[in-house]
Amino acid sequence: MIKKTVKNVAEALTGVENGMTLMLGGFGLCGIPENSISELVKKEVKEITCISNNAGVDDFGLGLLLQKKQIKKMISSYVGENDEFERQMLSGELDVELTPQGTLAEKCRAAQAGFPAFFTPAGYGTEVAEGKETREFNGKMYVLEEAFKADFAIVKAWKGDTAGNLIFKGTARNFNPCMCGAAKITVAEVEELVPAGELDPNQVHVPGIFVQRIFQGTDYEKRIEQRTVRQKS
């Protein structure tokens, strides 16, 4: 059995360089690769393009990279929880490409499956479609969207094995699965790493063929993005 384990996050992110395009899994702060993001901050890589549903919050998630001005461009579908993101976008310091959420997911999945492009009705007649090919199918207009091209896909899973098979837990199964295999190299950080053969094949969400490197993360904060509580009566 091929072993894809690496000893730590530093080894897992070997080869990440300035100017690269990185996919990062997660939705809000749920299922984000916390250890890998911290390592990217530590590595001080610059001019990176990040493909992620959103940009975290000011002091957590991708917000840490934004604080250090390490991100050149964000390709996202939602960016409403980060004041520093807003400041950089409005000042022109940060290039932002807003993409419909379903289109963002499909651009990942298309890259994963090896499709160069696909047609979608989302965005037709809006700024999203400007400069893109459009075509009519069965009386409805569609926009041609190209699959993403990324150097690294960095994801977070609940449990994985040494062969790279992954299981996601709850809503952390968001953009993570469709980013696996959608870049030249996929790095998976997991909360629990087990020997190959210990996972129930029927429970595996992503097979190891889509993963090149896997390591066990530590010290997950799992912060809640917006905590709403009721007052004591």
CA distances from 70 to 12, 25, 65, 78, 93 (A): 19, 18, 5, 19, 11
Domain span at residue 101 reads: 9-116+148-216
Q: Residue 56's Cα: distance from chain center in Å?
A: 11
Amino acid at 189: E
> Is position 98 within any domain?
yes
The stretch 150-166 carries a mean pLDDT of: 98
> Is position 169 within any domain?
yes
The stretch 187-194 carries a mean pLDDT of: 98
The stretch 185-202 carries a mean pLDDT of: 97
Sign of the C-alpha dihedral, residues 108, 113, 116, 117?
negative
pLDDT above 70 covers a percentage of the chain that reads 100
Write down the pLDDT at residue 78.
87
What CATH number is given to the structural domain containing 35? 3.40.1080.10
Q: Which of 61, 111, 75, 52 is nearest to 225 (CA)?
A: 61
pLDDT above 90 covers a percentage of the chain that reads 86
> Is position 105 within any domain?
yes
Is residue 129 left, alpha or beta, with left meaning phi > 0 and alpha meaning psi from -120 to 50?
Answer: alpha
> Is position 135 within any domain?
no
> Is position 203 within any domain?
yes
> Is position 226 within any domain?
no
Average pLDDT, the chain: 95
Write down the pLDDT at residue 1.
64
Contact status, residue 213 vs residue 39, Cβ threshold 8 Å: no
Map tokens 């069965």 to a residue: 138
Confidence of residue 227 (pLDDT cuts 50, 70, 90): confident
> Is position 57 within any domain?
yes
pLDDT of 226 > 80? The answer is no
Joined tokens for residue 84: 């520093």
pLDDT of 230 > 80? The answer is yes
> Is position 133 within any domain?
no
Write down the pLDDT at residue 26.
94
Span 26-82, pLDDT tens digits: 998 999 999 999 999 999 999 999 999 998 888 899 999 999 999 999 999 988 778
Q: How many domains does the chain fold into?
A: 1
Lateral strand order in the sheet of 117-120:
117-120, 140-146, 134-137
**E strand map for 6-92:** 21-24, 48-51, 71-76
Stated pTM of the model: 0.93
